[in-house]
Chain A
Amino acid sequence: MDKLSALIKIGLSRRKFLAGVGASAGAAAALNLVGCGGNSTATPTPTPTPTPSAPTDADILNFALNLEYLEAQFYLYAATGSGLAASDTTAGSASPYKTVGTVTAGEAAAVPDLTGPQQEILNEIAFEEQAHVRFLRSALGSAAVPMPDIDLSFFGPLAVAATITTAATGAGSFNPFSSFDYFLVGGFIFEDVGVTAYSGAAPLISAAGVAAGYLTAAAGILAVEAYHAGYIRTSLTGRAIAAGSESAYPYLGAANLVEDLRATLTVGNSAAPSTTGSVETLLTLPTSLTMPSSIVAASAANAVGFARTVNQVLHIVYGSPTVGAKSGGFFPNGVNSVFATTTA
């Protein structure tokens, strides 16, 4: 008919998809958030009756909120030595999750010995992730979940898992709060993941959510995460170029080891929408004026950014390849979400 009716129709189709999965396999158990990526306008479906267990827009935004809590805590600690204000972590009155989590700080502290411009960069990212927490909490209102338990001491075990043992000093100790370069690798762990998580979530938002502005908000946050990822990857690449070699700047290699680990954690689950498997683009070190850099993480064929399913994102932040994992890694007691369990 026209695009507005189609817009509504596609939203309803997505709802039906989500509802159907929820009904057949239990609330979130088998939810594959990319399964509705096909052409849903070509085969119109009747208006469904959503089941009570179907994930809602609030479920999707709350999952994102868990990730933003993590990012905000990391960047705020790195920039200032302390985390989110308590008022930014509380439970909405209608949230089924009541307990406000705590942060295991570990070695988390203000990154030392920053130049003025470097400090301003950390301040910016910290502020922006804090703003995302506040925006999502505001958009969710009483449905906002509280901050879950967050473990910022997980960077060490993650680095061991990624076999980052000799970066910079050879001491085998990976601490993203110990220097600007280590900080870049720490931020690298999150940023590409944030981009792909929002890409995976954007098409799932319902027609009502689209009308409420959730889709454009999600797309706008996606863009900001990509700005951040572009910043982190550009910095790592630029500093490696300045150092002259990967051995002189081992943080570039460390970042690529993180990518390898992310791929390993989602092995068997890596069929991303509109891509052919891998959702990682390794950094490279250009050594002449005729070599390209590798700043953008996107499909090699089309230069289209990747998307990850909720399940793939969970594997990464839990630091676990295990199916059925309910917690781990940065979230020692799981995320406050209907999507808390790895499903594939």
Chain B
Amino acid sequence: MANQETQVLDDIIATGRRKMMTLSIASLAGLMIGASAPLAKAATASYTDADILNFALNLEYLEANFYYLAAFGTTIDKPNAASMAAGALQITLSGTVGTPGTVSGGSQVPFTTIPVASYAIETAVEEGKHVQLLLTALGSSAVAQPAIDLGTSFQTLATAANIPNGAGFSPYASDDTFLVGAYVFEDVGVTAYHGAASLLTMSANLMTAAGILAVEAYHAGLIRTTINYIDPTGTSIAGYTNLISTLRAALSMAGLLGVAPGPFDANPDDYGLAPFSVSLHGGANAMATRLTDADPTNVIAFARNTTQVLNIVTGGGAVNGTTVVSPAIGVFFPAGMNAGPNGFK
């Protein structure tokens, strides 16, 4: 019994939600009964809703600071005229768990078009509210804002994605490059909340996570739609989305540690804006845009476990071969994420 439990727990630790979802209810019931045994690995597996929400908070710190810097030229904790005029929340960095860090890089984008500027402002305001919501919900359990790199991180990722002149890429240079920078985050946010939803135990937390998942998908749809309108033929920034998605998929698959993808986590688990062929009502094929990032069979958005997400936002820092590296360090999180004792980093 213990061996079986250990194996099940190992699977859960290794692969997160995906594996658990495939377990029969009987296995789950057996696990429940046996979980009082003082297994070291059982303790590792008994993360709480707070651990999951803190993982989300790290990502929201990242997103919110990116959008605040792009839209207003400031970080979430330092209001300026632009952020106040937009009604963006000033965030008191009240999280204390872990090591506080600083935000480096980033500057206000010299927007020239109203659609992109207005979307940046809206998104900044909304991501700020997500940070505040999670900080408030977590209270004294909230993690501190970790060190966040919003400068050279983009050049590192752009280079890894083979974007032309990636070493000179800046998401703060223009409306177009801002959209590419935003693209890096939004679909990842969707997959992270999707992966987390099934792990939450409190109904109220699930409702909140589902609601934030929806907002991240609205944002992702917004970004993809706007890029499609600007570059419908995929010759510039829409083409970059394909490169970025290819990189994200590779990092995500590495985060699976050799375990086959689950039913909603096909390989690849990420698609850029390149059109694809679809069959409608059994008739002839037609070309379609890809404004939705989802599996092409069931059209259900992808879900990622925390290791997959960490491996993306750290540019491969979460995995060494088939071994998890914790804390994962790199790219956007140069000192890693902050987490509680059983949390994800």
Contact = CB atoms under 8 A, between A and B. Distances in A.
B122 A293 contact: yes
Contacts of A3: 45-49, 199, 201
A37 B204 contact: yes
A117 B273 CA distance: 12
Interface stretch (A228-236, A263-271, A316-324): A228-236
Nearest to B206: A203
A20 interface: no
B207 A127 contact: no
Interface string B210-228: 1111111111111011101
A230 B218 contact: yes
Contacts of A79: 280, 286
Nearest to B292: A227
B32 A8 contact: yes
Given A2-B42, A123-B278, A224 B225 contact: no
B185 interface: no
A40 interface: yes
B126 A303 contact: yes
Contact of A274 (B122, B199, B207, B297): B207
Contact of A219 (B47, B198, B297): B198
Q: Name the residue among B129, B130, B283 with the largest chain A CB count within 10 angstroms.
A: B129
Contacts of B24: 211
A173 to B, nearest CB: 27
A49 interface: no
Nearest to B303: A216
A290 B121 contact: yes
Given A230-B219, A234-B222, A295 B197 contact: no
Interface in B1-39: 17, 20-25, 28-29, 31-32, 35-36
Nearest to B232: A117
B92 interface: no
Interface string B166-189: 000000000000000000000000
Interface stretch (B111-119, B139-147, B153-161, B318-326): B111-119
Ranked 3 nearest A-B pairs via Cβ: A230-B221, A305-B214, A226-B217
Interface of B: 17, 20-25, 28-29, 31-32, 35-36, 42, 45-49, 82, 85-86, 111-112, 114-115, 117-119, 121-122, 125-127, 129-130, 132-133, 190, 194, 197-199, 201-204, 206-208, 210-222, 224-226, 228-229, 232, 263-264, 275, 278-283, 286-294, 297-303
Given A2-B35, A227-B301, A307-B211, 6 more contacts: A6-B201, A37-B204, A82-B283, A207-B25, A295-B219, A306-B211
Interface of A: 1-8, 10, 14, 36-41, 76, 79-80, 82-85, 87-88, 116-117, 119-121, 123-124, 126-128, 130-132, 134-135, 195, 198-199, 202-203, 207-208, 210-213, 215-217, 219-231, 233-235, 237-238, 241, 273-274, 286-299, 301-307
